[in-house]
A and B are shown apart, each in its own frame.
Chain A
Amino acid sequence: AQSVTQLDSHVSVSEGTPVLLRCNYSSSYSPSLFWYVQHPNKGLQLLLKYTSAATLVKGINGFEAEFKKSETSFHLTKPSAHMSDAAEYFCVVSATSGTYKYIFGTGTRLKVLA
Chain B
Amino acid sequence: NAGVTQTPKFQVLKTGQSMTLQCAQDMNHNSMYWYRQDPGMGLRLIYYSASEGTTDKGEVPNGYNVSRLNKREFSLRLESAAPSQTSVYFCASSSVAGADTQYFGPGTRLTVL
Q: A residues bordering B, Cβ < 8 Å?
A: 9, 31-32, 34, 36, 41-46, 49, 51, 90, 94-97, 100-102, 104-107
Contact = CB atoms under 8 A, between A and B. Distances in A.
B8 to A, nearest CB: 14
A107 B42 contact: yes
B21 to A, nearest CB: 14
Interface string B98-113: 1111111111000000
5 contacts: A34-B101, A41-B107, A44-B43, A44-B104, A101-B58
B2 interface: no
A106 B31 contact: no
Given A42-B106, A43-B107, A44-B104, A96 B98 contact: yes
A44 to B, nearest CB: 4
B71 interface: no
Interface residues on B, range: 20 to 34
Contacts of B45: 101-102
B106 A105 contact: no
A16 to B, nearest CB: 29
A36 B35 CA distance: 15
Nearest to B6: A43
A58 B58 CA distance: 31
Nearest to A95: B99
B46 to A, nearest CB: 12
A94 B99 contact: yes
A43 B40 contact: no
Contact of A51 (B99, B102, B104): B99
Contacts of A101: 45, 58
Contact of B102 (A9, A102, A107): A102
A49 B101 CA distance: 8
Query: Which 3 A-B pairs rank lowest in CB-CB distance, beginning with the nearest?
Result: A32-B99, A104-B42, A100-B97
A100 B98 contact: yes
A101 to B, nearest CB: 7
B101 A43 contact: no
